Chain A
Amino acid sequence: MDWSLLAESAVNGGLVGLMYSLVAMGIVLIYKSSSVPNLAQGSMTMLSAYVVLAFANNAKVPLWLAILLAIVTMFGAGMAIERVALRRLAGRPIIMILMMTLGLEILLRAGSMTIWGGTARPMPLGISDDPLFLSPLLINRTYAVGAAVAVVMFGLLMLFFRTRLGVVLRAISDDYTAAWSIGISVERGVALSWAMSAVVATIAGILWASVQGVDQSLAQLLLKGVTVAVLGGMDSIGGALLAGVLLGLVEGVAGSFLDPLLGGASRDLVDAAMLILTIMLRPHGLYGRHDIERI
């Protein structure tokens, strides 16, 4: 067995996994505050990449400004989605809520295809394609940058949850009825969490777009994001980070072994298997809260 190949796919897998956890963090943020599993996170990621390109290519602003503008736009878009679509469904059966996010997924994905077309475009972040040499290992520079950004985002979110506003969000996620009764505006908190999730999606979208280009395939990050979010526990941001690394490692190592055996595309299979195993063995994930149900 080739140990350096194994180590290389493990390290790169871990870095990719951290980038997955960026997508998962968005799902966790929303689930934490409102118990809405956001199946539209993948297409929000994709939409944000298109928005960046729209600012950069059509409005001809420099890329850093385009990214800032896209973050602001997506902040608003996240709030709008919550206000228009999800708020009226509060308290309805979960099937309605799931179907709503699926509908949003279709609308956002097909909507951005309608506006911008389906041809793949590059996202010129200016990260060099040369691999990073770490003695025997070759490491993809974009993955390394993405992983670093994911860790920074995690740190920022942790700091945010220590601020006054963050404490409000934590209170809502703990018990929204109790939060309501002490005068916290639950609606505003949930809207804020959607907006923050859209911002996280923007950052994930930009990084993933520089890896695989801007096209419809960005929306397929949903499966990875959901797997990571469930594995980490739907309401734990730290869990999402750790689960991302774990999924990336397993996927990278298993992929490099299974691909020659199964004729490619084994990564999606590994994802699905991880998701099913997590749900069967430990439904509340690594760090999720184990809810007790009332009859």
Chain B
Amino acid sequence: MLFRQAGIFHTNYAADRALFPIAADRWMIGILLAFGFAAPLLVNSLYLSSYLLPWLIWTAGALGLNLILGWAGQFHLGYAAVMGIGAYATVHATRAGIPWEIAIVLGGSTAAIIGIGFAFAALRVKGLYLALSTLALQFVMDWVISHVPAISGGTQATLQAPDIRLLGQPITSDAGLYYVALVWCILVTSFMLNLRRTALGRALIAVREKDFAAAVIGVNSFYFKLVAFSTSSFIGGVTGAILIGTFYHAVTPEQFSVDVSIQALAMVIVGGLGSIIGSYFGAAFILLMPGAMNSLISWAAIRFGFSLSIETLAHLPQALYGALIIGFLLIEPLGLGKIYNNVRDYLLVWPFGYVKK
């Protein structure tokens, strides 16, 4: 229907290694990109700054987590802490007068350096123990951020983030902030897309499948684990900084608590491990779900004439969120990305399904 393929026949290696070998995919990406850049003209500014902007930033974050989780196969339950490190480092750097462009790189590098601390846990243990030690490191980071006044400005404190300035130009309009998020998301996405066809990406996948086996075939799994952790932490740190700069405008320790780590993890799981399009779906799903649930519940309350107490209303979306994670794991463990791929595979040669063999 969309694809009209009768099979894929490459005649040279360049075509085989192309990012999007199918013309219909290129068209779709082009249309989406065009829409992405034209969005400030098409979408009203409320939707732009409260839905599209956080979606793009969280997608970049989810992609960074997917690098470590889906590609390198290492647990990271402390991703929010890494984002927080990047955010705090950037805010402090800009407050000290360093230009924002340099400050986010500094923030990302700080996150990467501290993120390697998480990697040292990964060098020693894996699986469950790695998950637990990253969780513990998340608690330690939370504690340090909120209890060291030099970082957070004291317990319960909010640190105002200075306005973003790019090349000396202050960016304050909704459209400008949106473009910052969009460009970062595109950068991370193209990095992840290309990772698949580099030696680094293949080494990470080898480490994921079995690190001992990877070592046997000559892949230095320690080194690649370190690279995976620091790269993912860099992406996380910059994402955290951009999240603060364009969306929250102020930074508090609670924005990067353990719940946020679990939320990021849920984005990756719901979207699909190792799936790039899945990270987009997962981030959208997890971000939109609470709002959608709230309106669904209030609609149902009016429609069926029952009333719920405030406490019930406050906790019901959270419970449904847990139920959704469970439901996804039971029904489609590879997430929304896999569902998309199933549909795509079906449509690829539609209506000649027998060609698929």
Tell whether A and B belong to one assembly.
yes
Which residues of A are interface residues toward B (Cβ below 8 A)? 37, 85, 88-89, 92, 94-96, 98-100, 102-111, 113-115, 117-119, 223, 226-227, 230, 234, 262-263, 265, 268-269, 271-273, 275-276, 279-280, 283, 293, 295
B121, B212, B326, B333 interface centre (most CB from chain A within 10 Å): B326
Report Cα–Cα, A105/B266, bound state, in Å. 13
Q: Is the CB–CB distance between A107 and B143 below 8 Å?
A: no
A99 contacts which chain B residues (CB < 8 A)?
Answer: 265-266, 269, 325, 329
A98, A114, A118, A265 interface centre (most CB from chain B within 10 Å): A114
List the 9 closest pairs (A to B, CB-CB), nearest first.
A107-B322, A106-B322, A103-B325, A110-B318, A110-B319, A113-B315, A272-B136, A275-B136, A272-B139
Does B147 belong to the interface (CB within 8 Å)? yes
Q: Is the CB–CB distance between A113 and B311 below 8 Å?
A: yes
Does B241 belong to the interface (CB within 8 Å)? no
B129 contacts which chain A residues (CB < 8 A)?
Answer: 230, 279, 283
A92 contacts which chain B residues (CB < 8 A)?
Answer: 333
Q: Is the CB–CB distance between A272 and B143 below 8 Å?
A: yes
Q: Is the CB–CB distance between B143 and A268 below 8 Å?
A: yes
Q: Which of A119, A234, A269 contacts B140 (CB 8 A)?
A: A269
Does B195 belong to the interface (CB within 8 Å)? no
Q: Is the CB–CB distance between B133 and A280 below 8 Å?
A: yes
A88 contacts which chain B residues (CB < 8 A)?
Answer: 330
B210 contacts which chain A residues (CB < 8 A)?
Answer: 295
| Given A96-B333, A117-B309, A272 contacting B140 (CB threshold 8 A) | yes
Q: Is the CB–CB distance between B139 and A279 below 8 Å?
A: no
Interface residues of B in 186-236 (CB under 8 A from A): 210, 212-213, 216
A96 contacts which chain B residues (CB < 8 A)?
Answer: 269, 329, 333
| Given A95-B69, A106-B319, A226 contacting B325 (CB threshold 8 A) | no
Q: Is the CB–CB distance between A117 and B139 below 8 Å?
A: no
Nearest chain A CB to B348's CB is how many angstroms away?
28
Q: Which residue of B lies closest to A106 (CB)?
A: B322
Nearest chain B CB to A117's CB is how many angstroms away?
4
Interface residues of B in 310-353 (CB under 8 A from A): 311-312, 314-316, 318-319, 321-323, 325-326, 329-330, 333
Q: Is the CB–CB distance between B315 and A114 below 8 Å?
A: yes
Report Cα–Cα, A34/B69, bound state, in Å. 23
Could you list some 15 contacts between A and B, CB below 8 A? A37-B131, A89-B330, A99-B325, A106-B319, A110-B322, A111-B319, A230-B129, A230-B132, A234-B128, A265-B143, A269-B139, A276-B140, A279-B132, A279-B133, A279-B136
